[in-house]
Amino acid sequence: MILNQRAWLGVFLGALVAGCNGYHETAHSNKGSSEPAKNVAKITPGSNVQKETQEALIKAKPGSTIEFGEGKFEYTMGLSLTAEGVTIRGQGMDKTILSFKKQDAGKEGLLVNRGNLTIEDLTVEDTKGDAIKVNGGDGVTFRRVRTQWTEGEKESNGAYGLYPVQCKNVLIEECVAIGASDAGIYVGQSQNVIVRKCKAEKNVAGIEIENCIDADAYDNVATNNAGGILVFDLPGLEQKNGKRVRVFNNQVIANNHANFAPKGNIVASVGPGTGMTVMATDEVELFNNVIQDNETFSLSVISFYITGRPLEDKNYDPIPEGIYIHDNKITGGGKTPAGERGLAMAALLGTPMPDIIYDGIRNKEKMVDGKVPANLGVYFKNNGSATFANLHWNELNPMDLKASAKKIERDPKPFEGELPALPEVKLASAQ
pLDDT of residue 38: 59
Please state, in angstroms and rounded to a whole number, the distance separating the CA atoms of residues 14 and 23: 10
Please state, in angstroms and rounded to a whole number, the distance separating the CA atoms of residues 314 and 317: 8
- Low-confidence stretches of the chain (pLDDT < 50) are 1-37
Query: What CATH architecture applies to the domain 2-29+36-430?
Result: 3 Solenoid (2.160)
Contact 142, 132 (CB under 8 A): yes
> Rounded to 5 degrees, what angle do the CA atoms 83, 85, 91 make?
100
Q: Which residues, in sequence order, are bridge partners of residue 160?
A: 183
pLDDT of residue 389: 97
If we measure between CA atoms, which residue out of 211, 208, 359 comes closest to residue 297?
359
368 class by beta-carbon count within 10 Å (0-12 exposed, 13-18 middle, 19+ buried) = exposed
CA distance to 40, 58, 242, 253, 290, per residue, from 320 (Å): 47, 44, 10, 24, 22
pLDDT of residue 261: 93
Map residue 102 onto helix, strand or coil.
Answer: coil
If we measure between CA atoms, which residue out of 83, 211, 219, 200 comes closest to residue 153?
200
pLDDT of residue 1: 33
Please state, in angstroms and rounded to a whole number, the distance separating the CA atoms of residues 166 and 239: 8
- Where do the H-state alpha helices sit in 181-229? none
Its pTM stands at 0.91
pLDDT of residue 399: 79
pLDDT of residue 30: 37
